[in-house]
Amino acid sequence: MNIPKLDLGGLAEIQPMRFPRIGKSMNIQVEKCKLLETLRKNKDQHTKDYIEAMIEYRSEVVKALTENLKEAKECGEIRTSIRLVCPVNYVKEYEKAITIFEWELQELVDLTEEQFTMYVLDQWHWSRDFAQNTMCYSARTA
């Protein structure tokens, strides 16, 4: 499709911008160094969030087990399990993506819309579950 240039009275000639169609999947070309920088930053934030959630999770587990042990010793109800969801560490997902792009020879890489959403926007298929799980524990420390 040939897009006509706009005449701005000699100031500049600009090509009109084409916007992606809503509902259509698109590909985007990104600089590998910016992509790697973003992936590493997202990985660091994920690691920080995971560690903070694990610290609080561990504290909650110890508290629950201590209470269960106390009740069992006092001839109360004997509970051998606790109902806490353990935070999941997805750092290997980031490491895999980082390694793939470190091995990429081209300085510009093509990403699908789905890959861009995961790698750049940090919205993976597991992101919602991870956020709900870690917020559950981080809310207890606030």
DSSP secondary structure, 95-141, as one string:
HHHHHHHHH---SEEEEEHHHHHHHTT---TTHHHHHHHHHHHHHHH
Q: What is the residue-averaged pLDDT of the chain? A: 85
Count structural domains, the chain: 1
Cβ-Cβ contacts under 8 Å for 47 (sequence gap 6 or more): 89, 91
Cα–Cα nearest to 138, from 67, 60, 66, 82? 60
Q: How confident is the model at residue 15 (pLDDT cuts 50, 70, 90)?
A: very low
- DSSP class of 77: -
Tell which wins on pLDDT, 8 or 117. 117
Q: Taking 60 as the threshold, does the pLDDT of residue 88 lie above it?
A: yes
Residue 32 covered by a domain: yes
Residue 58 covered by a domain: yes
pLDDT at residue 90, as a whole number:
97
Residue 5 covered by a domain: no
pLDDT at residue 18, as a whole number:
56
State the Cα–Cα distance between residues 107 and 23, nearest whole angstrom.
29
Domain that holds residue 104: 28-81+89-141
Q: Taking 70 as the threshold, does the pLDDT of residue 23 lie above it?
A: no
State the Cα–Cα distance between residues 110 and 31, nearest whole angstrom.
9
Q: How confident is the model at residue 66 (pLDDT cuts 50, 70, 90)?
A: very high
Q: How confident is the model at residue 72 (pLDDT cuts 50, 70, 90)?
A: confident
Q: Give whichever of 6-15, 64-73, 112-121 has the largest mean pLDDT.
A: 112-121
CA atoms within 13 A on the CB side of 74: 8
Residue 100 covered by a domain: yes
Tell which wins on pLDDT, 75 or 1. 75
pLDDT-above-90 percentage for the chain? 61
What are the pLDDT digits (tens) for 27-53? 999 999 999 999 999 999 999 999 999
